[in-house]
Chain A
Amino acid sequence: MKKTIVILLLAAFGYFLAITFLDPDFEKDRNRNGVKNVYLEKTVSELKTANTVTAIVVNFRGFDTLGEVTVLFLAASALGSILFKKRHHVGERSITLPASSIVSTGAKLLFPAIILLGVYVFVHGHLTPGGGFQGGTIIATGFLLMLISYRNFSISHNILSVIESLAGILFVVIGLMGFINGGTFLQNFMPTGTLNNLFSGGIIPIIYILVGFKVATELTGLIYTILHEKG
C-alpha cells in the first residue's frame, strides 16, 4: 500500500518534470524584457568589469552572495559544533596511515604553487573566469594536500576563525559603506577605473578577494575538523 503510493507520487513527479524539461523552449527569445540585456550592457558601461558573471554575482545580485557566504559559514560552524565533542586533542588524527615519500616530497613542491594559483584566481575574479569561491576552494585543496602528506602538519583553529570572521565583517562593512556613501546597500562607492585593468570594477574585486579568504579558511577548517574526528 505504502509502496504503491510512493511509486504513484514518484510517477507524478517524473511526469511533471518530463513535460516541462523535455521541451523547455530555451531557444525562443521570449525574454526581450528580461534582465540579461541590461546586465550585459551595464557591466561594461557602468561597472567596468570584464567578467559579466562576476558582475552579476558580486554586484547585481551581491545580496545573494552575502547570503551564500553566510550559508557556507553556517554549514561550517554546524559541522564544527556537531563534531565538537568527538574531536581529538591537537595533533591526533582519525586517519593515521603515513603518506609515501613520493607524495610528501611532491606536496612540498606543489603547495606554494597551489596557493599561488588560488590567489591568482580570486584576485583576477573580475577579469578572468573564476573568483572568490573557486580560488578559495583551490587554496583549501592545497591545505588538504599538506594535511594528508604530513601527519604533524597543523593549522591553528583560532587563526582560521579570526581570518574568517574578519573577511565576513569586512564584506558587510563594505556593503554598509555603500549604504552610507551612495544610498543603497552594497552600492559601488569607489572609482571604477578602466575596463580590463587589474584595478577596475570598484568594490567588486575587493569583495571577491574577501570571499576568497572566507571560503579558503572555512573549507580548510572543515577539512581539519573532519580529519580530526574520532572514528
Chain B
Amino acid sequence: MVGSPVLLIAIPLLAAFLIPLLGIFWKELVRIIPGLVLGYLTILSASLYIDVLNTGTIVETIAGWRAPWGINLVFSPLTGFLATLMTFIGFIIWLYSYRFKRNVEFEAAKKYFIFLMLLVAGSIGIVITGDIFNQFVFIEIVGISAYALTAFYTGRNSAEAAFKYLIMGSLSASALLIAIILIYSQLGTLNMAEIAANIHNMPPQYRVTAMIFFIIGIGVEAEIFPLNGWAPDAYTEAPGPVGSAFAGIVVKAGIYAMVRMMFTLFDISGPMQILIIIGMITLVVAETSALRQVQLKRMLAYSSIGQMGLVLVAFGMGTKAGVFAALFLMLNHAIIKPLLFFSGSYLVFNSKEKNISEMSGLGKLMPFTAAFFALGSFAIVGLPPFAGFWSKLSVLTAAANDGLLLIIAIVLLVSIVEIVYYFRVINRIYFFKFDKATSVVPHKPRVNALIAMAILAILILVIGFYPDSVSEILNRASEDLLNTPDYIKNVLSTGQSLTY
C-alpha cells in the first residue's frame, strides 16, 4: 500500500489552509502548491486504483469506528476509476491555468487556486465517501467553491449567475437534507451500505418521498432538466478553466451521487424509467437549446447538459451494457469537454461578447487552438476515428440489446443536431474570411495551455484508436456498480475494533 484513500481528502484540505500562510513568504507558491497537490493526488489515486483492480475494494474507516458507527470511505473499481479521472482532469486544469492572473492580481489568483483545489477535493469526496451525510458535506464544499468561482469576475452578469446558482444550490441542499433526515428517522443510520441492506424495511411512502427529495437535491449538481437553469449562465460567466472543471469534474460527481443513490441506496434493479425519462427530456431540451445559442461558451454548456442527459439514459437501462456505455460516455466527456472549453476560451479570448459570429477565419491565425477545437468537436459528436464514436456506439448497442428503439431514434436524431451546431462553428473558423472589423483579435495560447490541450487531444486519439485499452477498466467498474450485495458485504465487514 502506498497510501490510503483518506489522503485524497486530507491533503488538499491541509494545502488549502496552508496556502494563505505560504503566500505571505513567496507569491509563486500559491500557484505551485495546488499543482503539486493535484499531481500527488493523481499518482496516489492511480496507484490505489491499480491496487484495487488487483486485490479488491479498499474500505477505510475514519476515527477508528467501523462501518455503521463511523464514517468510511469506499475505494472500489467504480469509485477509484472516477476519483482517478477527476484528479487527472483537475491536474490538467491546473496546468492550463497556471499563469491565471499572474502579475495582475495576487489576492484574486490565490482565491482562485484555493477554490479550484477544494472543488476537485470535494468532488472526490462525493465519489469515495460511503456515508450519506458525509456526501452532503462534500456537496456543500463543491457548491460553495463553485458559487465563488462563478462570481469570480465580480461583474454584474457573473454576480447574477452566481446568485442564481447559489439559490438553486441552497434550496436543493435543503431538499437533500430532508431526504437524509427521513432516512435517518426510519432506519437510524447514515451509512450507505447499512441503508442499502435495510431499505426494503422502510415503509413505501417514506421511501418514495426520500427518493424524490434525493433526486431534487442531487439534480442541481447533476444538471438534470428542470434543475439546470443555473448551468448555462455559470459556464458562461465563470473563467474558462472553471467551465471545464464544472463539465469535467463537478457534473461527474453529481451523476455518480445520483446513480449510487438509485442503484445502491434504494436498491432498484432493472430498467429505471425515471432516469430514462429525465435523461431524455434533458437531452432533447439541451441539444435543441444549444442550436439556438450565439455565445460559444453557452453553446458548450448546453452541449454538456445534453451529454449528461444521455449518460442518465444509459444508466437508466439498468443493464451491464447500459452502465458500461454510461461510464464510457462519462470518461469521454470528461476528456473532450475540457479540451473544447480550453481551446474555445482562447478562440474568444479578446472578445467582450464571446459570440460565435466573431470567430471568422481564426483557423489560419491560431492553427493549434483551432485544430484542438475541431478535434474536440469531431470527438464529441461521435465521428468514427475519435473517442466519442465508441461511447455513442455502445449506448446504441446497449439500447438495441433491450429493444429500446425509441432511444436509438432520439439519440441518432440528436446527434444530427449536435453535428449542425458544432460544424457551424468549425465552418466559421476555417472557411470564413478573417475580417478586422468583426472578428476577434487572436490571442496566442501559452505553452502550458498548449501542453494541457495536447495531452487531452492525445488521449482522445488513443481511446479512439484503441478503445479496448479502457474497456476492461469500464467493465470492472460497471460490474462493481451493479453488485450491491458485495458492496454491502465489503463495507460492513471491514474495520478494526478500537485499540488504545
Asked if B463 is at the interface (CB within 8 A of a chain A CB), the reply is no
Contact between A184 and B24 (Cβ–Cβ < 8 Å)?
A: no
Contacts of A165 in B (CB 8 A): 17-18, 20-21
Asked if A182 is at the interface (CB within 8 A of a chain B CB), the reply is yes
Query: Among B63, B115, B125, B496, which residue has its beta carbon within 8 angstroms of that of A67?
Result: B125
Contacts of A188 in B (CB 8 A): 63-64, 500
Bound complex: CA A116 to CA B186 (Å)? 42
Contact between B69 and A38 (Cβ–Cβ < 8 Å)?
A: yes
In the complex, what's the smallest C-beta–C-beta distance from B15 to chain A, in angstroms? 9
Contacts of A80 in B (CB 8 A): 111
Asked if B467 is at the interface (CB within 8 A of a chain A CB), the reply is no
Stretch at the interface among B132-140, B266-274, B388-396, B431-439: B132-140
Enumerate A5-29 residues with CB–CB distance to B below 8 Å. 16-17, 19-20, 24-26
Asked if A98 is at the interface (CB within 8 A of a chain B CB), the reply is no
Contacts of A172 in B (CB 8 A): 10, 13-14, 17
Query: Among B10, B125, B182, which residue has its beta carbon within 8 angstroms of that of A175?
Result: B10
Bound complex: CA A82 to CA B198 (Å)? 45
Asked if A183 is at the interface (CB within 8 A of a chain B CB), the reply is yes
Bound complex: CA A109 to CA B13 (Å)? 39
Contact between B13 and A66 (Cβ–Cβ < 8 Å)?
A: yes
Stretch at the interface among B205-213, B360-368, B451-459: B205-213
Contact between B71 and A63 (Cβ–Cβ < 8 Å)?
A: yes
Contacts of A39 in B (CB 8 A): 69
Contact between A46 and B498 (Cβ–Cβ < 8 Å)?
A: yes
Query: DSSP class of A's interface residues: helix, strand, loop or mixed?
Result: helix
Contact between A16 and B212 (Cβ–Cβ < 8 Å)?
A: yes
Bound complex: CA A158 to CA B107 (Å)? 13
Asked if B460 is at the interface (CB within 8 A of a chain A CB), the reply is no
Contact between A35 and B206 (Cβ–Cβ < 8 Å)?
A: no
Asked if B65 is at the interface (CB within 8 A of a chain A CB), the reply is yes
Asked if B148 is at the interface (CB within 8 A of a chain A CB), the reply is yes
In the complex, what's the smallest C-beta–C-beta distance from A89 to chain B, in angstroms? 15
Pick the most buried of B65, B133, B148, B205: most chain A CB atoms within 10 A of its CB: B65
Contacts of B125 in A (CB 8 A): 67
In the complex, what's the smallest C-beta–C-beta distance from A181 to chain B, in angstroms? 10
In the complex, what's the smallest C-beta–C-beta distance from A70 to chain B, in angstroms? 6
Enumerate B1-45 residues with CB–CB distance to A below 8 Å. 4, 6, 9-10, 13-14, 16-18, 20-21, 24
Interface string of B154-174 (1 = CB under 8 A from A): 100001000000000000000
Contacts of B107 in A (CB 8 A): 81, 84
Asked if A36 is at the interface (CB within 8 A of a chain B CB), the reply is yes
Q: Which size class do B's interface residues fall under?
A: 35 or more
Bound complex: CA A195 to CA B63 (Å)? 20
Bound complex: CA A192 to CA B147 (Å)? 41
Bound complex: CA A70 to CA B17 (Å)? 9
Contacts of A24 in B (CB 8 A): 185
Contact between A81 and B111 (Cβ–Cβ < 8 Å)?
A: yes
Asked if A199 is at the interface (CB within 8 A of a chain B CB), the reply is no
Query: Among B9, B63, B70, B209, which residue has its beta carbon within 8 angstroms of that of A19?
Result: B209
Bound complex: CA A178 to CA B4 (Å)? 13
Contact between B205 and A19 (Cβ–Cβ < 8 Å)?
A: yes
In the complex, what's the smallest C-beta–C-beta distance from A119 to chain B, in angstroms? 22
Contacts of A176 in B (CB 8 A): 10, 14
Asked if A111 is at the interface (CB within 8 A of a chain B CB), the reply is no
Contact between A60 and B21 (Cβ–Cβ < 8 Å)?
A: no
Asked if B61 is at the interface (CB within 8 A of a chain A CB), the reply is yes
Contact between B152 and A81 (Cβ–Cβ < 8 Å)?
A: yes
Contact between A182 and B499 (Cβ–Cβ < 8 Å)?
A: yes
Contacts of B148 in A (CB 8 A): 74, 77-78, 81-82
Q: A64-B71, A78-B144 are in contact. Are A183 and B496 (CB under 8 A)?
A: yes
Bound complex: CA A39 to CA B68 (Å)? 11
Query: Among B10, B63, B186, which residue has its beta carbon within 8 angstroms of that of A60?
Result: B63
Q: A71-B137, A185-B6 are in contact. Are A20 and B69 (CB under 8 A)?
A: no
Asked if A219 is at the interface (CB within 8 A of a chain B CB), the reply is no
Bound complex: CA A187 to CA B500 (Å)? 9
Query: Among B68, B71, B111, B114, which residue has its beta carbon within 8 angstroms of that of A61?
Result: B71
Bound complex: CA A19 to CA B188 (Å)? 20
Q: A61-B133, A64-B137, A185-B6 are in contact. Are A78 and B63 (CB under 8 A)?
A: no
Asked if A161 is at the interface (CB within 8 A of a chain B CB), the reply is yes
Interface string of A129-159 (1 = CB under 8 A from B): 0000000000000000000000000000010
Contact between B114 and A59 (Cβ–Cβ < 8 Å)?
A: no
In the complex, what's the smallest C-beta–C-beta distance from A194 to chain B, in angstroms? 14
Contact between B64 and A71 (Cβ–Cβ < 8 Å)?
A: no
Bound complex: CA A72 to CA B186 (Å)? 30
Asked if A2 is at the interface (CB within 8 A of a chain B CB), the reply is no
Asked if B151 is at the interface (CB within 8 A of a chain A CB), the reply is yes
Interface string of A175-211 (1 = CB under 8 A from B): 1101100111111100010000000000000000000
Q: A68-B137, A172-B14 are in contact. Are A162 and B21 (CB under 8 A)?
A: yes
Contact between A59 and B118 (Cβ–Cβ < 8 Å)?
A: no
Interface string of B170-199 (1 = CB under 8 A from A): 000000001000100111111000000010
Bound complex: CA A60 to CA B64 (Å)? 8
Contact between B154 and A82 (Cβ–Cβ < 8 Å)?
A: yes
Q: A24-B185, A77-B114, A78-B144 are in contact. Are A185 and B137 (CB under 8 A)?
A: no
Enumerate A26-65 residues with CB–CB distance to B below 8 Å. 26, 30-31, 33-36, 38-39, 42, 46, 59-64
Which residue numbers of B lie inside 8 Å of A, CB to CB? 4, 6, 9-10, 13-14, 16-18, 20-21, 24, 60-65, 68-71, 107-108, 111, 114-115, 118, 125, 133-134, 137-138, 140-141, 144-145, 147-148, 151-152, 154, 159, 178, 182, 185-190, 198, 205-206, 208-209, 212-213, 496, 498-500
Which residue numbers of A lie inside 8 Å of B, CB to CB? 16-17, 19-20, 24-26, 30-31, 33-36, 38-39, 42, 46, 59-64, 66-68, 70-71, 73-75, 77-78, 80-82, 84-85, 158, 161-162, 164-166, 168-169, 172-173, 175-176, 178-179, 182-188, 192
New A-B pairs, 17, CB < 8 Å, besides A35-B189, A188-B500: A16-B209, A25-B186, A34-B189, A67-B125, A70-B141, A71-B141, A73-B17, A77-B115, A82-B159, A164-B20, A165-B20, A166-B21, A184-B60, A184-B62, A185-B6, A185-B60, A185-B63
